[in-house]
Amino acid sequence: MIQTLFMAVGVEACLIVLLLVKTPFRKLLMLGIDRLKRGRGPVAVRTLAVTVFVVFASSVSSLVKIRRRSAGIEGVLGLNPTDQVLWSRYLLESSLIGLFLFLALIIDRMHGHVRELRVLKKGMKTVTQQSRMAEDTRKKVDEQLKAKEREIILLNEKISKMESDSELRIKEVKSAEANALALRKQSEGFLLEYDRLLEENQSLRDQLQSIDLQLSRSVSKKNS
Question: pLDDT tens for residues 116-126?
Answer: 888 888 888 88
Residue 153: per-residue pLDDT: 92
Q: Give the pLDDT of residue 154.
A: 92
Least confident of 9-13, 62-66, 178-182: 62-66
Question: By mean pLDDT, which of 8-17, 75-84, 147-156 is the weakest?
Answer: 75-84
Q: How far apart are CA 171 and CA 179, in angstroms?
A: 12
Question: What pLDDT score does 215 carry?
Answer: 81
Q: How many CB atoms lie within 10 A of CB 59?
A: 21
pLDDT band at 53 (very low <50, low <70, confident <90, very high): confident
Chain mean position to CA 40: 44
Which pLDDT tens digit goes with each residue over 162-207?
A: 988 888 889 888 888 888 888 888 888 888 888 888 888 888 888 8
**83 against 214, higher pLDDT:** 214
Question: What's the pLDDT at 18?
Answer: 83
Residues 6+ apart with CB under 8 A from 13: 103
What amino acid occupies position 13? A
Question: pLDDT digit string (tens) for 36-47?
Answer: 777 777 787 778
| Amino acid 204: pLDDT | 87
- What digits encode the pLDDT tens for the residues 206-224? 888 888 888 877 777 766 6
Is the model's pLDDT at 148 over the cut of 60?
Answer: yes
Q: What's the confidence (pLDDT) of residue 159? A: 92
Does residue 73 have a pLDDT over 60?
A: no
Q: Which of 23, 97, 92, 15 is nearest to 57 (CA)?
A: 97
Confidence of residue 77 (pLDDT cuts 50, 70, 90): very low
| 176 vs 99: CA distance, rounded Å | 111
